[in-house]
Structures are given as structure tokens and as C-alpha cells.
């Protein structure tokens, strides 16, 4: 039986680069089954987006998914993963290779570029991680 997951990812950065967080919402059969929110330190928005995807892929592999749909509001990330854009930033290249390695663990992968308003859950988790980390630092 195929275990199919739908995943929403987002990365946020206050300052770009600046304090950054990731948000991941994992759904199965239209129901949210896991939320991930994490502070990743100082990073750019693009690094946060890529890092959110790495967390999501690792979690999906641990859940033994074999088919995944990734939804992101990052046009850059979706176009680079769909091989429409080349990766020119060396900081992203290492993360891209890590993602390609993780993607090899799935039978089927689709990456969708969605509107920001359709990604509110993951966005909220990413921003929550930053807020909580900054609050602890004060």
C-alpha cells in the first residue's frame, strides 16, 4: 500500500539574513498529522526554505512515506527543485545536494509552487519559532 503525504513548508527570516525559523505541516488524507516548528539561527530566507524542506523530507522518511507532494510558496525553491532554474548560490548548493539525496528515498515526488495565502500554517510555525527564540534571548 502506498503511503502518500502532502507537505507544506516555509522558511522565514527577520532581516534576511537574520534570525530564521522553519515551519512544516504534514498531512495525510486531508488531515494534519504533524507540525514542525524550529529556530535555525541566523540565515537567509532561501536557506530557511531549503532547511524547512530538509526537515520535512527527513520526517516523511521516518514516517515511511513513499509518495509525497511538497507545497511551497518559494518560487525559487520550487523552480530549482523542478530543474527550471540553476543554483548559483553556493550556500544553497550543499543543501540542494542533501535534498536530492533525501528525495531518492521516495518513489514519487511532486513539488508545487503555491500562493502565500495557501501556506498560512507553515508560515505561522516558522514565524512562531523565531518569536519564541528571540523572546528566550532577551
Would the pTM of this model clear 0.95, i.e. be above it? yes
Mean pLDDT, rounded, of the chain:
97
Q: What is the mean pLDDT of residues 53-69?
A: 98
Per-residue HEC secondary structure of 23-50 comes to EEEEEECCEEEEEEEEEEEEECHHHHHH
pLDDT at 109: 98
Q: What are phi and psi of 38, to 5 degrees?
A: -155, 145
**pLDDT-based confidence at 56, cuts 50/70/90?**
very high
Nearest to 10 by CA among 28, 22, 27, 26: 22
Residue 78 has a pLDDT of: 98
Residue 137's pLDDT band (cuts 50, 70, 90): confident
The three grid cell numbers given for residue 121, joined into one nine-digit string? 500554517
For range 72-98, the mean pLDDT: 96
Domains in the chain, start-ordered, CATH in brackets? Answer: 4-133 (3.30.420.10)
- pLDDT tier, 27 (very low <50, low <70, confident <90, very high otherwise): very high
* pLDDT at position 15: 94
Amino acid at each position: 500500500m502506498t503511503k502518500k503525504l502532502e507537505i507544506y513548508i516555509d522558511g522565514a527570516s527577520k532581516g534576511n539574513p537574520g534570525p530564521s525559523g522553519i515551519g512544516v505541516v504534514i498531512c495525510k488524507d486531508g488531515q494534519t498529522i504533524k507540525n514542525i516548528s524550529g529556530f535555525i539561527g541566523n540565515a537567509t530566507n532561501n536557506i530557511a526554505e531549503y532547511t524547512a524542506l530538509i526537515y520535512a523530507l527527513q520526517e516523511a522518511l521516518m514516517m515511511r512515506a513513499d509518495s509525497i507532494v511538497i507545497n511551497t510558496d518559494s518560487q525559487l525553491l520550487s523552480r530549482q527543485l523542478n530543474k527550471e532554474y540553476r543554483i548559483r548560490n553556493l550556500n544553497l548548493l550543499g543543501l540542494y545536494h542533501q535534498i536530492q539525496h533525501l528525495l531518492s528515498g521516495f518513489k514519487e515526488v511532486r513539488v508545487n509552487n503555491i500562493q502565500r495565502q495557501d501556506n498560512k500554517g507553515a508560515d505561522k510555525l516558522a514565524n512562531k519559532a523565531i518569536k519564541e527564540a528571540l523572546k528566550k534571548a532577551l
